Amino acid sequence: MNNLFADLPADLKLPEELVEVLSESKHVRIERIVSTGQVSPDGFWYDQNEYEWVVVLKGAAQLQFEDELSPRSMKPGDHLLIPAHRRHRVVMTSPNEPTVWLAVFLTD
């Protein structure tokens, strides 16, 4: 048995997010992502081939969609489905505690 909150980094200034694939098959990939203040680079937008369902389990984040004026704030329990090719970026993750995400990627 594993725990989604096990082995969280003590260092809150990691150079990049920690991404761990928990399970995957031909059509589904489940990842635990741990952010420690990371954001998307200026001008960068994710444009993914798969759908992504994401939930914040711990910490906080803000996601910005290219077609929306304001970012969406997310706190523990908040989740959303990002359709394939909906351009988005991370504009904030908690700087003083790890933000733990669970992301489920779905393909046809």
Q: Give the E-state strand segments of the chain in sequence order.
A: 18-24, 28-35, 51-58, 61-65, 72-74, 79-82, 88-93, 99-106
What's the whole-model pTM score?
A: 0.91
Position 9 scores a pLDDT of 80
pLDDT in tens, 65-98: 999 999 999 999 999 999 999 999 999 999 889 9
Domains of the chain: 30-106 (2.60.120.10)
Closest to 104 (Cα-Cα) out of 38, 49, 24, 3: 24
